[in-house]
Amino acid sequence: MAKKNQSIGKDIFRTAIIDSFKKLDPRNMVKNPVMFVVEIGFFLTLLLSIFPNLFGGHYELSQIPFNLVISFILLITVLFGNFAEAIAEGRGKAQAESLRRTKTDLMADRREKEGSYEKVPASTLRKGDVVRVTAGGMIPADGEVIKGLGSVDESAITGESAPVIRGAGGDFSSVTGGTKLLSDELIIEVTVNPGESFLDKMIGLVEGASRQKTPNELALTVLLAGLTLIFLIVVVTLGPFAGYVHGSIDTVTLIALLVCLIPTTIGALLSAIGIAGMDRIIRFNVVAKSGKAVEAAGDVNTLILDKTGTITIGNRLASDFIPVGSHNLKDLINTAVLSSLFDETPEGRSVIDLAKKDGVTLSREDYNDAENVDFSADTRMSGLNLPDGTMVRKGAVDAIKEDVQKKGGRIPEDLDAKMERVAKEGGTPLAVIKNQEIYGLIYLKDIIKPGMRQRFEELRKMGIKTVMCTGDNPLTAATIALEAGVDDFIAEAKPEDKMRLIREEQEQGKLVAMSGDGTNDAPALAQADVGLAMNTGTMAAKEAGNMVDLDSDPTKLIEVVSIGKQLLITRGSITTFSIANDVAKYFAIIPAMFTTIIPQLQSLNIMHLTSPRSAILSAIIFNALIIPLLIPLAMKGVKYRPVSATTLLVKNLLIYGIGGIIVPFLGIKIIDLIITGLGLSNI
């Protein structure tokens, strides 16, 4: 599936600028301790620009322009931080507005107590109401189909133009309000009250402003607040130290130093990184019920995947004909084609296609008088009853053997050996009989999806263990697991087996992710740290999981893990860059502050900045400019490649650690040269 791209348009940009000023409200800023300190610094320097001797000291008229410039730069720094968050929120709000447009004032045919149907506004529907939707009508609310089968257009929600089938019973009965029924008629039981629909939840989730901070983000916020407090104490003590050596440092310079030393870069971008991570998940057509779910995906240790439809294509296809007993290959193929002549399943069609390659074709028209026998869960067989009384069947080997033995037929001696060979090779054998004679086997093979082995290898490099769950027998499961490249497998798996595996992994301190779509998957989805429910699945599954895949692609769980890791890596990379920045800014400002008091410290001025004020201005200007320059990286995310944690750490330190030191040195020096060239070095 192609990812949806959402560029930052003029409307989002314009709104973000306005929101940047609105976010200056101290009640909002206090949620971000680092930027709140910068805002306080702005107000103090602004006051000192108007009242230079506010905190005592000698009044110098020449100090006012410097104070004003510092005050302006601090304001710009705060606005840039607010702008980063507003841009991230703006993308979510734009998508939310697009979703709101799908919520029209629908009318619904609600069933009354006496059984008749009455037209009512969809907004009046309540949980438990039963509605009727006919072809061409809009589904008025989220619900479960209790009668009927129809084709539904979900493009308004998923973006996919291909319709999907929804019907009563099974795991494809869930429907979403705002989608369109294209065919037939459905009777739907409403499962939500107004304001609680899937679309309402999705709108709320994509609105970045209402996003709850994740545990790691909260922990990092506390760390940044701690660092800010430490630097605040350090800077406050510099004044008395300067006085001890018979010097003085003005308050504005101390504020500039504090702003440059505290981690303003990550402080300004932290919220934007989290919102952008949610946005990336949503643009991938996955709705995460919380930022915590996205973050947990990045820390997953174990990935539980179904075999059918996830690791394999989902439809077993005929790949060989194996005669048994005294029957030859041609007789087997003819009998197999007869048994599949009216079978419209992918398996049945694959038998016809394989037979054509061997030169065997039969026409349906020649057998119009035959009675088609559909597959039944009771008999586990399907086929034809010919007009002359001949019975042709294909089905599960044990079911065929049991039927033949009941009717006094003979089981070929080589049947079991050939059946076991097929199972060992990862295939599924179907026996073919005419009357009471077993002609042979159809070898059905699960086709591994292209590239799955490479993807599992990538997950292994991430340190993620992959476990395949399948209802197949152990021999078949082992062969598929080996071919696909998964680390482990569970054969003949039941829902309780998934629960047991999840709990065992979690007891070892691991985080577990799994996907599912059925009601029987709901307990395991709820137990997993990351539960990806399919949109085509039941309401129980969607409620139990903490993510919903609108495209209903189980393999997307692998991409979800990658996006979660990208979020964590982006946050870590920018944090590393921010802290490394502070080291370079230290060498710019500290020498500038003390060289007039202690000339020997001039040797620390390794950047050879023009003057003390030029150094302070250059550092604080760079401190402000680096925030908007990093916004694209925060929004797009650091590209993630599956490598070991050690390799990732070394790469992070080399690029964002060393780079975070070098870039400020160059940037501050260039700004100093520009300031000097404009004659502002001693403003």
Specify the 3-state DSSP secondary structure of 640: coil
Query: Position of tokens 């089981």?
Result: 411
DSSP bridge partners of 488? 467
Residue 363 annotated as lining a ligand binding site: no
Residues 6+ apart with CB under 8 A from 470: 306, 307, 308, 476, 477, 480, 489, 490, 491, 492, 493
Specify the 3-state DSSP secondary structure of 330: helix
499 close to 524: Cβ distance less than 8 angstroms = yes
Q: Is the dihedral of CA 396, 399, 403, 404 positive or negative?
A: positive
Residue 380 annotated as lining a ligand binding site: yes
The amino acid that residue 416 corresponds to is: D
User: Which regions of 343-473 does DSSP assign to beta strands (E)?
Assistant: 371-373, 381-385, 391-396, 427-434, 437-445, 465-469
Q: Say how far apart CA 397 and CA 19 lie, in whole Å.
A: 68
The amino acid that residue 438 corresponds to is: I
Query: Phi and psi of 375, rounded to 5°?
Result: -65, 140
User: Which regions of 335-407 does DSSP assign to beta strands (E)?
Assistant: 371-373, 381-385, 391-396
Residue 394 annotated as lining a ligand binding site: yes
Question: Which residue out of 19, 153, 306, 582 is catalytically annotated?
Answer: 306
* Helix 215-244, helix 33-50: angle, nearest 10: 40
Residue 379 annotated as lining a ligand binding site: yes
Q: Give the CA dihedral 399, 400, 402, 408, nearest 10 degrees.
A: 160
Residue 375 annotated as lining a ligand binding site: yes
With CA atoms as reference, report the closest residue to 433 among 382, 387, 388: 382
Is residue 171 annotated as a catalytic residue, yes or no?
A: no
Greatest CA separation for the chain: 118
Residue 382 annotated as lining a ligand binding site: yes
- 336, two tokens: 């197999």
CB crowding 570-601: b at 16 or more within 10 Å, else e? bbbbbbbbbbbbbebbbbbbbbbbbbeeeeee
- 506, two tokens: 């979690």
User: Which regions of 53-181 does DSSP assign to beta strands (E)?
Assistant: 107-111, 117-121, 130-134, 143-147, 149-153, 164-167, 174-175, 180-181
Segment (H or E) for 49:
helix 33-50
Residue 517 annotated as lining a ligand binding site: yes
With CA atoms as reference, report the closest residue to 441 among 341, 357, 336: 336
The amino acid that residue 184 corresponds to is: D
Q: Say how far apart CA 318 and CA 272 lie, in whole Å.
A: 52
Q: Say how far apart CA 256 and CA 251 lie, in whole Å.
A: 9
Residue 424 annotated as lining a ligand binding site: no
- Residue 128 burial (CB count, 10 A): 10
Q: Say how far apart CA 149 and CA 37 lie, in whole Å.
A: 61
Query: Phi and psi of 545, rounded to 5°?
Result: -75, 160
Residues classed as catalytic: 306
The annotation places the binding site for ATP at 343, 347, 375-382, 394
The annotation places the binding site at 343, 347, 375-382, 394, 517, 521
The annotation places the binding site for Mg(2+) at 517, 521
